[in-house]
Amino acid sequence: MSILVNTDSRIMVQGITGNEGMFHSWQMFQYGSNVVAGVTPGKGGEWVFEGKVPVFDSVKVAREATGANVSVIFVPARFAADAMIEAADAGIPLIVCITEGIPVKDMMRVRKYMDQMGSRLVGPNCPGLLTPGEAKVGIIPGNITKPGNVGVISRSGTLTYEVLYAMLNVGLGSSTCVGIGGDPVNGINFLDVLELFESDPQTDQIVMIGEIGGTDEQKAADYISRYMTKPVVSFIAGQSAPPGKRMGHAGAIIESGSGTADEKIHALRLAGVQIAHHPEEIAQILIR
C-alpha cells in the first residue's frame, strides 16, 4: 500500500505548457505516473508528450473529460492561489502546489477555502509526493529511492533527497515520501501524515525531517507520544541558526526564543523519537 498517491492516481498538471511544468511533468510521465491532462488557459485543444496528454482551458473541464483526481500546480506565484482555488472548486480531492514565493495573505485565503471545500492540499513551496514504483507527483527524483517500508515526511526538499539517497545506499526504500513544504501557511502537516503512515500496513518505520521555526514539530511530538506505535526517527535542520534570521524557508525563523531546534529536539526525545545529528545518520539509525 501507500498513502495519498498510487497507481490509481489520475494526475493533471496545472501550468503544463510552461517551462517548469513541461520539464517536471515530462519527468513524472517518464517515471510512469498516470498523467491524464494538462491545464493552461488559452491552450485548450493542444496535446503534449507526443500527442498522449490533452491540454484543457480549465480544471473543471479537464476533470470532467479525464476523471483526474490529483492536481499538481506549476504556475507562477501570482497565479498560484487562484490555481489552487480553481482545483478545489472543481472537486479535486488532492492538490499539490510546487510553487514557491506565494504571499502569506494569499495562502490564508486558500486555506480557508480548502477547509470549506474539503480538498487536501500538499504545499505550497514543496517537492511534492513520491510513492516509489507507483506515482511521482512533483519534483522528487525517482532514481534516489526504491519501494520499501519507510515512510518519509519532510519540510525540506533538499534534505528529503539527501535522506532518501542515504537510505538507498544501505538498501532501504520508502513506502511514500511526502514533502509538506516550509511556508508559514500551508496544507497538510506532520500530524496529518503521521496519522496516514500509522494506518498504512506497508509502513513500518517513519522518518520526520523538521526545521527551526513554528511549533509543528512539538505538536508532532505530542501526537507521537499519544498515538503512534511505529518507531520514528527525526532530524531537525537549523540547529546553529541565530534568533531572528530566516534560514531558507519563510517559516524557518526563530522569533522571541520560540521555535528553536533545541526545543523541538527536546520534545521529540521525550516522545521516544530517535534523533539524528546529521541527515545521513538517519539511514544508519533505521538499520540498527
Do 140-286 and 11-122 fall under one CATH topology?
A: yes
Tell me the backbone φ, ψ of residue 17, rounded to 5 degrees: -90, -5
Amino acid at 91: G
Q: How far apart are CA 70 and CA 5, in angstroms?
A: 8
Which is the CATH superfamily of the domain at 140-286? Answer: Succinyl-CoA synthetase domains (3.40.50.261)
Is-contact 132 173, C-beta < 8 A? Answer: yes
Binned average pLDDT, 10 residues per bin, the chain of 288 residues? 92 97 98 98 97 98 98 97 98 97 96 94 97 98 97 95 97 98 93 98 97 92 98 90 56 57 95 96 96
Q: Residue 244 has what pLDDT?
A: 56
Residue 244, all three cell numbers: 531572528
Residues shown for the chain: 288
Please tell me the predicted confidence (pLDDT) of residue 213. 86
Per annotation, catalytic residue among 24, 249, 277, 278? 249
- pLDDT value at residue 134: 97
Beta-bridge mates of residue 129: 137, 178
- Is-catalytic flag, 249? yes
User: Would you kindly state where each structural domain of the chain is located, as residue ranges?
Assistant: 11-122, 140-286
Three-class SS of the chain: CCCCCCCCCCEEEECCCCHHHHHHHHHHHHHCCCEEEEECCCCCCCEECCCCEEEECCHHHHHHHHCCCEEEECCCHHHHHHHHHHHHHCCCCEEEECCCCCCHHHHHHHHHHHHHHCCEEECCCCCEEEECCCEEEECCCHHHCCEEEEEEEECCHHHHHHHHHHHHHCCCCEEEEEECCCCCCCCCCHHHHHHHHHHCCCCCEEEEEEECCCCHHHHHHHHHHHHCCCCEEEEEECCCCCCCCCCCCCCCCCECCECCHHHHHHHHHHCCCEECCCCCHHHHHHCC
Nearest to 139 by CA among 21, 220, 8, 268: 21
Q: What is the pLDDT of residue 214?
A: 87
Region 11-122: CATH code: 3.40.50.720
Tell me the pTM. Answer: 0.94
